[in-house]
């Protein structure tokens, strides 16, 4: 039960999904984490074609006041867009953009995957990418979620 609680706090997923993953992994927490991650990818692929009809604009200004980001994060409904966890996700991604200076969302500019936002290790947890963070949000909220666009401003 402690493992289920711990994974629930980490992922925000339902007890049923976590229990199923733990059963599949014969109680091994790390294997269950891998199963849940794979499940997130599958869920994200299934929802990728859904139309985005809502979202939020989030901003982040670094404490120095010399770097700032505006981010548009889309989702399907206002219900999710108004959710505090969704707002936190948008803020965290904006902070990541401020710190890591990506030049595109999915390497549209051809500059390489290291400058593509979705492929970068997430600044708050380098073990996952921004893409994996968004896939986990898709699984958690049950809605398609995408970075629509972002702009990074810098004085230097």
CATH number of the domain encompassing residue 18: 1.10.8.10
pLDDT, residue 147, reads 98
pLDDT, residue 16, reads 85
| Residues in the chain with pLDDT values less than 50 | none
Q: Do 95 and 61 share a structural domain?
A: yes
Q: Do 95 and 134 share a structural domain?
A: yes
pTM to 2 decimal places: 0.79
pLDDT, residue 94, reads 98
Q: Do 140 and 85 share a structural domain?
A: yes
How far apart CA 156 and CA 152 sit, in angstroms, is: 12
How far apart CA 154 and CA 67 sit, in angstroms, is: 4
Q: Do 67 and 144 share a structural domain?
A: yes
Q: Do 77 and 35 share a structural domain?
A: no
Distance of alpha carbon 143 from the chain centroid: 12
* Token reading at 92: 């965290």
In the chain, the number of structural domains is 2
Range of the domain at 102: 54-154
pLDDT, residue 5, reads 85
């Amino acid at each position: 039960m402690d493992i289920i609680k711990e994974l629930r706090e980490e992922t925000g997923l339902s007890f049923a999904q976590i229990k199923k993953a733990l059963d599949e992994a014969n109680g091994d927490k790390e294997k269950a984490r891998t199963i849940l991650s794979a499940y997130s990818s599958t869920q994200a692929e299934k929802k990728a074609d859904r139309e985005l009809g809502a979202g939020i604009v989030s901003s982040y200004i670094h404490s120095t006041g010399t770097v700032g980001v505006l981010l548009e994060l889309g989702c399907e409904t206002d219900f999710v867009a108004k959710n505090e966890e969704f707002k936190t996700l948008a803020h965290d991604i904006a902070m990541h953009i401020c710190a890591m200076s990506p030049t595109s969302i999915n390497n549209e500019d051809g500059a390489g995957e290291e400058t593509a936002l979705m492929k970068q290790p997430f600044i708050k947890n380098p073990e996952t990418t921004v893409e994996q963070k968004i896939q986990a949000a898709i699984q958690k909220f049950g809605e398609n979620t995408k970075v629509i666009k972002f702009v990074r401003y810098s004085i230097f």
